[in-house]
Structure 1
Amino acid sequence: MLQDNKACLNSTGYEFIRIDSPKNTAIEIKNFLKDKKIFGTIYVSVEGININLAGEEKIIKSLEEIFHQHELFKNILFKHSYSDRPPFKKLKVKVKSEIISIKKEVNNIFNIKKNYIDPKELKKKLDNGENVYLLDTRNNYEVNIGTFKNAKNLNILKFDEFADKIDELKKIEGEVVMFCTGGIRCEKALGYLNEKGINSFKQLKGGIINYLKETNGNHWSGECFVFDDRITLDKNLNPTYKELCPKCQKVINTFDRTKCKECMQSG
C-alpha cells in the first residue's frame, strides 16, 4: 500500500494529433495497460489524446517512455506531481468526440500556432515588472481557489463558454499570456483564436502545474484546482484533499459534501 506523500506519481499530458482510428488506438492502450497497477483517465479522439495517470513512479515513467516511442505521441510533455495515494479510483480509457470541448469547430486543430512562453521566462517578466496581461482561461470556481496575482479572467462557468467571449478578447491589447491547469484548454483556445484573427496571444507552456514546478510558485496566489480526488494543489504541488460543494465548488472543508450553506438555501 502507498504510504508516504511521494509514493504516487501523478502524470498528465496531451497531444493534438490526428488519430485515424481512435477506437483501435484506445483498444491498443487498454490491452497494453491491462494488469498494470495504475489509475487515471485516458481520452482518445480523432483530434488527439489526453492522459492522466497515477501510480508507482517507476511504472509511470516507463509508460511515459513507451508513449514517447509511439510516432503519434512522441512530443507529449508530461507534467508531474506527487501524492500519498492515487487520486483516481480506477483506470479508465475512453473514446470521445473531443479530448477537450470548446463547443465550436476548430478546423486548424492540427496546425495550431503554438506560441509558448516558458515558465521561467514568464517569471522573469513578472519579476521585472513587465506589463503582461495574464489571462486565466479556467472556470470561475477554479479562479476563486487560486490564480496569478493581478490576472484577469473571462467570468465563465464552463470552458465551452470561452468562444462566446471573442469580442471581449479582441479588445485586449499588449502582451497576452493565457494559462490553465496543464495547457490543454489554452491550446484548444489558441486554435479557435487563430481562426478568428488573433495570433499574438501566448500560452504558458505546461500550464500552472509546470509553472509551480519550475518556479516555486512565485507570483501565484492560492491553490490550483485539479480534476481528481486531490481537489487542489498548493504552491509546492502537494495535494490538499479539500472538500468542495458539489454544486458551486466552493471550499467547505467538511465531510458533509451535500451542499454549502448558500446552495442549500437556494435549493
Structure 2
Amino acid sequence: MSLAAPFAAPFAAALFCDVAVAPAFVRLPRLRTSVGGEDGAGDEPVFRHGGPRIRARSASAGGGRASLAVSQLRRRKEGGSSATRGCAALSSGNGADSRRVSGGDFVVVSFYRFVRVENPEEEVAKHLAFLKDLDIHGRIYLNAQGINAQYSGPLADARSYFEWLRENDRFSDILIQISPALSGHAFPKLKVQFKPLVQVDGGIAHLPLLNTSMRATPLEPSEWKKRVVALSRSRDASSGNVDSDCIILDLRNGYEWDIGHFQGARRPEVDCFRSTSFGLSETEVNDSDPLADVNKEKTDVLMYCTGGIRCDVYSTILRKKGFKRLYTLKGGVSHYLENEGPVEWVGNLFVFDSRLSLPPAAYNPRSATQTCDLQHAIKNEKFAKCYLCGSVVQELRHRNCANLDCNLLFLCCPDCVSSFRGCCCSTCMTAPRLRPVLPGHQRYEKWHLYRDLEIQPS
C-alpha cells in the first residue's frame, strides 16, 4: 500500500500528545513494572499542576538535584524539545511507500524476521559497529533464530539502519513498519543484545520457528478485513452467537486489550502474554481458555498481536498441539490499521515505547474521519474502564501508580487520579516512596529526581 498520504492536521488533532511510561518487553506478572527502565526513565515531568503540592528541599546536597530537575522541567514546559519540528518524508522501502511524518523528523521503526543466524554474537557486534555513529535508541535483539527490533531516531538515521540490514540477503524483503515518534526518541537508550526474541515461559529456543510450515498462514490486511467483517455480519445475523467454525484470538496482554481490540475477539483471562497457556492443556478444561473444546481439525483460528511476532511464536506451539487451521494477521494490528483503517477495531493500539498508546489515525490519517462512539462500541464490561471506580475512561492511555514500589500500570479516570493522588489504591497513597502526580499521561523520571522532594496533600 502507498504511504503517500500525509500525516497532517487530522493526524495531529487525533493523536494524544501526552507522553506516558515507556514499556520494555513484556515481563509483567501483575503488571507491576515501570515498563521502560527501573524507575521509568523518560521526558521531564511537570511538577506544578492541580494535584499535590511539591516543595523542593534546599538544605541538603539533594537540593541541587531537585533544583536541577525543576529547571529542566521549566525548560520543557517553556517549549524546549529534542525533536525537530516540521514534516519529513520517509520511505521504508516496502514499495511505493513514501509518507510525511508530522511532529518532528523522529520516527519509530519496528521489524522482525525468523531466520538462521550462524554466529549471533558476531552479528550483534556488527550491528553495534554500524549503529555507533547513528542517533538510534531502542531494543534490538538477535539470536540464532533471527532478529526483533524496535527503535526510534531521526529520519535519516532510522532509514540508514534498516537499509543497511536489507543489504543482507536474509533480510532483503523484511517488512519494515514505521510510525511517527511524536516528540524525540521513544526509547531511553539503545540496547543491542544476544537474547531470546520474545519472552515466553519455557523459552523459544526449542520451537520450530524457522520452519515456515509450522507457523500459521499469514493473511494480508485486506484478507483479514474480509474475514472479520464476515464474522461480524454473522454475529449480527445470529443475535450475537459466535461462529463455532472460526475464532478471532487476541495474543496480547490484558492491558493491551483494555484500550483496544478487534470486536468479537477472545483472549484468555491472564495479565501477561509470556504466561499464556491457552490451547495447551491436555487434561483439563479451563473456562478462561478461548480454545477449550475447539475442534482442532476444523476450526479456523485467526490470531493477531501488535506487530505479528507473538502470533508466529504461538502458532508453532498450537501447531504442535494439533491445531490445523491457523492464520495470523500479517504485520499485526499496526500493519492492519495502516492499510485498512479501524474496520472492526475499537479503541487505540498499545505500543511498547514512550508513546504507550496510539489512535488509528497515527497509522492512517484517513482514520481520523472514521470515528467510533466508544459508548456504543464497548460491549465488553472490562474494556476501557477505570481501574478504581469502573467508569468508562475517555482517554485510552495507562499511567503508572505514583508509589514507586508498586508501579502498577492501570487505566484511571481524572477524578480518581485526583482523589487517589496518582495511586492505584488507598494503601499506596501512604507508601514511603511516592512520586508526584503527573498531569496527563507523562512518564516518570528516575527516582533520584523525586527522593529529595517533599510531597504534601493539596
Question: Does the alignment reach a TM-score above 0.5?
Answer: yes
- In the alignment, is the contact (CA less than 8 A) between 1:138 and 1:156 conserved in 2? no
The one-letter code matched in structure 2 to 1:142 is: E
> What is the match of residue 379 of structure 2?
none
Which string of whole-angstrom CA distances, capped at 9 and with x for unpartnered residues, describes residues 209-232 of structure 1?
Answer: 101111111111111111110011
Q: Provide structure 1 residue ranges, at least 5 long, that are not aligned to the other structure.
A: none
Pick one of 123, 131, 137 that aligns with 2:251: 137
Q: CA deviation at 1:82?
A: 0.8
Change (3 A) 1:6 1:193: farther
> What is the match of residue 17 of structure 2?
none
With the length of structure 2 as denominator, give the TM-score of the two structures.
0.53
Matches of 2:226 and 2:332, distance apart in 1: 16
Pick one of 183, 187, 194 that aligns with 1:88: 187
Structure 1 residue 63 and structure 2 residue 161: aligned?
yes
> What is the match of residue 50 of structure 1?
148
Structure 1 residue 108 and structure 2 residue 268: aligned?
no
Residue range with higher mean Cα deviation, 253-262 or 128-137: 253-262
Structure richer in strand, relative to its length: 1
* Equivalences for residues 1-267 of structure 1 within 5 A: 1-4=83-86, 5=103, 7-84=105-182, 85-96=184-195, 98-104=196-202, 106-111=206-211, 112-128=214-230, 129=233, 131=243, 132-163=246-277, 165-167=279-281, 168=289, 169=291, 171-173=293-295, 174-237=299-362, 242-245=397-400, 247-252=407-412, 259-261=423-425, 264=428
Matches of 1:263 and 1:80, distance apart in 2: 41
The one-letter code matched in structure 1 to 2:105 is: A
> What is the match of residue 80 of structure 2?
none
Q: CA deviation at 1:182?
A: 0.4
Change (3 A) 1:24 1:147: same
Which string of whole-angstrom CA distances, capped at 9 and with x for unpartnered residues, describes residues 48-91 of structure 1?
Answer: 11111212223322322221121332342111111222211222
Matches of 1:248 and 1:89, distance apart in 2: 20
2:223 is paired with a residue whose SS is helix
Q: Provide structure 2 residue ranges, at least 5 long, that are not aligned to the other structure.
A: 1-82, 87-102, 235-242, 282-288, 364-394, 402-406, 432-458
Matches of 1:103 and 1:204, distance apart in 2: 23
2:171 is paired with a residue whose SS is coil
Which string of whole-angstrom CA distances, capped at 9 and with x for unpartnered residues, describes residues 167-199 of structure 1?
Answer: 343633532210111011110001111111213
Residue range with higher mean Cα deviation, 165-174 or 254-263: 254-263
Which string of whole-angstrom CA distances, capped at 9 and with x for unpartnered residues, describes residues 7-60 of structure 1?
Answer: 222110111122222211111000001111122110111221111121222332
Matches of 2:161 and 2:320, distance apart in 1: 35
The one-letter code matched in structure 1 to 2:85 is: Q
Change (3 A) 1:2 1:171: farther
Change (3 A) 1:75 1:258: farther
Q: CA deviation at 1:204?
A: 0.5
> What is the match of residue 43 of structure 2?
none
Residue range with higher mean Cα deviation, 159-168 or 50-59: 159-168
With the length of structure 1 as denominator, give the TM-score of the two structures.
0.88
Matches of 2:208 and 2:430, distance apart in 1: 43
- In the alignment, is the contact (CA less than 8 A) between 1:102 and 1:188 conserved in 2? no
Matches of 2:143 and 2:262, distance apart in 1: 32
> What is the match of residue 454 of structure 2?
none
Matches of 1:237 and 1:75, distance apart in 2: 24
- In the alignment, is the contact (CA less than 8 A) between 1:154 and 1:165 conserved in 2? no
Change (3 A) 1:262 1:158: farther
The one-letter code matched in structure 2 to 1:109 is: L
Matches of 1:178 and 1:195, distance apart in 2: 16
The one-letter code matched in structure 2 to 1:124 is: K
